[in-house]
Each structure stands twice: as structure tokens, then as C-alpha cells.
Amino acid sequence: MAAISSAVSLQAPPRWMAVGVLLSALGAIAGAMLADSEAGSQWMWLHWVCKPVATGLVLALVWRVRQPISARYRAWALGGFGLAWVGDVLLMLPQDLFVEGLVAFLFAHLCFLVALTGDARFGAKPLAMLICLAYGALCLWSLWPTLPVELHIPVVVYTMVLATMGGQAVGRAWHHAMARDALAAPAWLAGAGSILFMLSDTLLAWNRFRLSLPWAAVWILGSYFGALWLLARSVAPAPPEETAAV
């Protein structure tokens, strides 16, 4: 991708979209918490409605960036958000579709990983990759005693792909920060979003397989929607005087 001389202006999204994402995310969290309370499952509908709406609005936020710095980055990011939406729906249904949801998110992370290699070579900063992979291995070690045998392979594959995506995102951010180029700010948004994604999935796995976390919906969904928002904001529009090149 051709170098861009001026810094990228991270334009604020339309207020209605930002408010819509916030309200639907809060609705999804509230619905999940109320469903786990004495009020019972009668509030689960709120979670079922709001969670896909929140993810869908984040997807729309990326879609509306018509002239991104990199059309390639935007295209693969759109694929990632679309698969995340599918994963959201599968994981929230009454049926136990955990593996199916896991597969959807696995391919979502692969899409994000491809997007993150367009302007920074894979493993550009080995230390960042090593730290994220070590974190993934530590999470697996902590979950292993209580993880069902039939989930060993799916969870190992998923964790390593997610950790690789996180390592690539942080390494890419590091690379552009050192270069002090136009992608430094958007790359750090993607890096922070990837780390939040790792945190959210860690909390989800611990809550499901290790121990029941207090206020689990707040921490898991809060970090999840934060991750989606930051990753979406990393799809930056090209400055008016520049032409995106892929």
C-alpha cells in the first residue's frame, strides 16, 4: 500500500450510530443479567434482540466507510464482523451451539488476521506475537482440568488463532508507531480491540468452564462490544487529498 504522508483524521461516527451501539449493547448486557436473576428467563428476549442489533450496527459503521485507506483492510474486516454477527446469533440461541459459534468466531478472527497483514508483514514484531501466544497457552493451561475432552481440539485451535490475531494486531500497531506514519492511530485502535477480544473470550471461557464470575455479563459483553467498536474504528477513511491504494 502506498505511503500516506499526512496523519489520518479519525472521523467521529454519526451520533445516531454511536448512540445506537451504546444503547443496544447496554440492552444486551441488561437482558443477560436479568435473565440470570430472580426475574428469570422472561427478560432473555432483550438480550436476543439487542446483541445482534449492536453487532449489526458496528458492521454498518464499517460499511459506511466508502473510501478507506485500504479497501483490502475494510473488505476483510467486514467479513470478520459479519462472521462475528453469525457467532453472536449461534451462541445466544437456546440450543447448545457452542462449537458452531466457536467456528464462526474462528473464521472471524482469520478474516481479521488477513486484514492485519496487508500493511505489516506477519509477525512483524516477534515479541508481541510471543507474548500473546504465551497468554493463550496460559489460558489453555488454566482451563484444561475442567474443559470437556470433546472441546480440547476446538478450543486449542480457536485460542491459538485468537492469540495470533492479537499478536499480529499489536505488532502491526508497534510497527506503524515506530514508523510514525498515517496508520499509527488506526493501528493502535485495532491492537487495543484485539487485546479486548482476548480478554472477553478469556472471561467467557472461565465463566463457562472454570467458575461463575460475579456480574459476568458486564465484564464479558462490555469488553466484547468494546473490542468490536475499536476494531470498527480502525477502518479509517483516506484523507481527502489522498487516494487509497491496495
The alpha carbon of residue 1 and the mean position of all alpha carbons in its chain are separated, in whole angstroms, by 24
Q: Write out the three cell numbers for 118.
A: 496487508
Q: Which residues pair with 237 in a beta bridge?
A: 68
One-letter amino acid at 66 equals R
User: Closest Cα to residue 31, out of 110, 88, 105?
Assistant: 88
Backbone angles phi, psi at 147, to 5 degrees: -85, 125
Higher pLDDT, 148 or 242: 148
Tens of pLDDT, residues 216-239: 999 999 999 999 999 999 998 887
Spans of all domains in the chain: 15-233
Span 37-44, average pLDDT: 72
Tens of pLDDT, residues 151-170: 999 999 999 999 999 999 99
Query: Are 105 and 83 a contacting pair, CB within 8 Å?
Result: yes
As to burial, measured by CB atoms within 10 angstroms (0-12 exposed, 13-18 middle, 19+ buried), residue 71 is middle
% pLDDT > 90, the chain: 75
Q: Which residues pair with 185 in a beta bridge?
A: none
Instruction: Please tell me the predicted confidence (pLDDT) of residue 9.
Output: 56
Tens of pLDDT, residues 178-190: 988 888 899 999 9
Helix 44-63 vs helix 216-233: crossing angle, to nearest 10: 10
User: Quick one: the chain helix, strand, coil %, rounded to 5?
Assistant: 75, 0, 25
28, 33, 68, 82, 235 from 75: Cα distances, Å:
27, 34, 10, 11, 10
- Is the pLDDT score of 240 beyond 80? no
Query: Are 173 and 190 a contacting pair, CB within 8 Å?
Result: yes
Tens of pLDDT, residues 80-114: 999 999 999 999 887 889 999 999 999 999 999 99
CA torsion through residues 137, 139, 140, 142, sign: positive
Q: Which residues contact 174 (CB under 8 A, 6 or more apart)?
A: 124, 125, 128, 191
Query: Are 17 and 61 a contacting pair, CB within 8 Å?
Result: yes
Query: Are 217 and 37 a contacting pair, CB within 8 Å?
Result: no
The structure's pTM equals: 0.90
Instruction: Please tell me the predicted confidence (pLDDT) of residue 30.
Output: 94
- DSSP state, residue 237: B
Q: Which residues contact 27 (CB under 8 A, 6 or more apart)?
A: 46, 47, 49, 50, 53, 54
